[in-house]
Amino acid sequence: MAVEALTELVSVNPVTGEPVGSVPRTDPDELPRLVAEARRAQRAWIAAGPSARARVLREAARVARVHVDEIAATIVAETAKPRTEAIAHDLYAAVDNARWLAANAGAVLRRERIRFRQPYLRLKRGWLLYEPLGIVGVISPWNVPFGIPFTTVATAVAAGNGVVLKPSELTPLCGEWVRRVLEEAGAPPGLVQVAHGEAPVGEALVDEPGIAKLFFTGSVAVGRRVAAAAGARGCPIVLELGGKDAMIVFADADFDRAVEGALFGAFLNGGQACISVERIYVERAVHDAFSERLARRAGELRPGDDVAPLATDRQLERVADLVARSSGRVLAGGRGDGRFYEPTVIAGAAPDEEIFGPVVTIEPFDGEDEAVRLANATHFGLAASVWTRDVARARRVADRVEAGMVWMNDFGYSFATGEAPWGGAKDSGFGRTSSRHGLYECVQVKVVDEDRGRLWGPWWFPYDEQTERGLVAMLDLVYGDGAERWRAAWRERRALVHIVRRSLGR
C-alpha cells in the first residue's frame, strides 16, 4: 500500500474529491532515461524535415478536434471548470496554435540570407540558421491544463525539439492528452515524454543536464525558485508567471459590453486565470453605476455552471483571508461554500499580490494619466485592457501601460491565437510562447558564412602604418555622409590603394 501510494499519482475532482484516474508517478532517477528516449525520437524528427513536421501539427489539430469530447471531459473532471471554458480556452488554444504552427513554422524557421552592406564583405554570403535546442523541459500549471502544455509543447516540437513535459500534479491526465494527441497525429513515439509528480519531479527536471531549455508556467514564487536553479546550471528559461491585470474603463465605453467584459475577465475559471482582471479602474462619471451593475451581475453567476471552484483548500483559505483583510467595501459575494467562492466585487484599493480567485476590486479614476498611473502601480505586468470608444486614446494608454499584452474593448482572446505572442513584463515573467516569437524561443540562431576566399582581410597581420591610415579612411568612406566620404578617400588615396592590394592578397 505504502509503495503504491508512492508510485501512483491519483487525480481527483476538486469538488467531489472523487478519483478521476491515476498515472504512475515518475521517479526523478528516471529522467535521464526519458531524455535519452526523447533524444532518439528527436533525431528521426529532425531527419523528417519541416514539411513532415507541418503535416503532423496539422494532423494534431484534427486529432484534438476528433477527441474534443474526451479531452473536455478530462479537463472538466480534473478541474471542475465549466465545459464551455474547457472548449473555449483549452481546445481553441491548442487547435489554433497547432494549425498556425503547421502553416508557419517552416517559413519562420527557414534559413535566412544575411545581406552584408559593407563593400569589403560583398563577396560573402551569410546565413542565419534556426536550429532546434535538443530536448526542452515544459513545466505547466493546472488552470489551463491542456491548452497551456499543448501549445508550449507543440511550439517546441514544431521547431524540431523533443520535450519532457511535467504537467501539474493536479491535472496529470490532461498532460497525458498532450502526448497522446501528438503521437496519434504521427509524431515519433517518445518525442514527447511526460514526467508526473509534485515539486520534486519538477526540481529534478530543472536540474537534469540533458534539458537544454525550460519553459515554466506557474506562480511567481515557484517560477523564481525554478529560474534560480536553472541559472545555477546555466540553463535558459522562459517564465510565464502570475498577473494582477488592470481593466481601465473610460466613461465613453460601451457600458453593457464593459460590464460583461469585466464579469468574464474577473470570474472566468473562478478567477484562476493568469490574465484574470483583478483590478478595475472606472472613470468617475460612470464608476458608481458600473460598480452597481457589476455587483448585481456577479450575484447572478451560478457556481459550477458559470464559475469554477477553487482548485485547492489552501487557495480557498487564501482567497477568504485576502477578502477578510481587505479594507474595501464588499459589494457582492465574500463567502465560500465548499470549494466554491462567491464572485466577489470589492470597492477599494487592490492588494499588490495575485489573488487567483473570483475576487475583483473596483476604484474610480480621473483622467488618462491617473488611469495609467494606477494600472502601472504594481510589480506585475502580464496584461491589461482598455475600454473606450476613442481608439486614439486607447492606443495612447496601451503605449503607456507596462504589460506584455493590452486588449482594447476585449479581454484575453489572443490566448487562443497562434499569431499573437503570449507573455508578460516586470514580475510576470520573460520570454514568450506562441507565435513566431514563441518559435524563436525554441531554437538557437547560428550564423554561417560562405566565403570562397577571394578577398583577404586587410585587417589581418601584418599591421603597418599604411594599413592603419587606410582603415581610418575606409571608416569615413563607408560610414561617412556626403562630401566627407570622398574627401577622406582622396586624402588617403595611397593608403586606400594599399588596402585594396592587401584585400587582393598582394
Residues that bind ligand NAD (CB under 6 A): 139-144, 148, 166, 168-169, 198-199, 202-203, 206, 217-219, 222, 225-226, 240-243, 274, 354, 356, 382, 422, 424, 429
Q: How far is the CB of 414 from ligand NAD (least distance, A)?
A: 12
Q: Are strands 425-426 and 380-381 parallel, antiparallel or unpaired?
A: antiparallel
Q: Residue 286: which residues within 8 A CB-CB, separation 6 or more?
A: 249, 251, 253, 255
The Cα–Cα gap between 206 and 388 comes to 44
| Nearest to 205, CA basis, from 48, 368, 331, 38 | 38
Residue 77 or 144: which CB sits closer to ligand NAD?
144
Residue 217 or 326: which CB sits closer to ligand NAD?
217
Radius of gyration of the chain (CA): 27
Q: How far is the CB of 394 from ligand NAD (least distance, A)?
A: 23
Give the ranges where 268-378 is alpha helix by DSSP (H): 284-300, 313-325, 367-376
Residue 42 or 272: which CB sits closer to ligand NAD?
272
Residue 160 or 423: which CB sits closer to ligand NAD?
423
Q: How far is the CB of 450 from ligand NAD (least distance, A)?
A: 40
State the residue for C-alpha cell 498611473.
373
**73, 90 contact by CB (below 8 A):** no
Residue 161 or 428: which CB sits closer to ligand NAD?
428
Q: How far is the CB of 315 from ligand NAD (least distance, A)?
A: 8
Q: Is the CA virtual torsion 318, 323, 324, 326 positive or negative?
A: positive
Residue 432 or 502: which CB sits closer to ligand NAD?
432
The residue with its CB nearest to ligand NAD is: 202
Q: How far is the CB of 245 from ligand NAD (least distance, A)?
A: 10
**What burial class does residue 125 get, using C-beta atoms within 10 Å of its C-beta: 0-12 exposed, 13-18 middle, 19+ buried?**
middle
Q: Residue 232: which residues within 8 A CB-CB, separation 6 or more?
A: none
Dihedral over alpha carbons 83, 266, 302, 317 (to 10 degrees): 100
Phi, psi of 103 (to 5 degrees): -80, -25
Q: How far is the CB of 135 from ligand NAD (least distance, A)?
A: 17
The Cα–Cα gap between 48 and 481 comes to 50
DSSP label of 422: B
Q: How far is the CB of 239 from ligand NAD (least distance, A)?
A: 8
| Nearest to 235, CA basis, from 212, 257, 259, 258 | 212
Residue 142 or 407: which CB sits closer to ligand NAD?
142
| Nearest to 151, CA basis, from 422, 460, 503 | 422
Residue 214 or 282: which CB sits closer to ligand NAD?
214
Residue 138 or 280: which CB sits closer to ligand NAD?
138
Q: How far is the CB of 223 from ligand NAD (least distance, A)?
A: 7
Q: How far is the CB of 232 from ligand NAD (least distance, A)?
A: 13
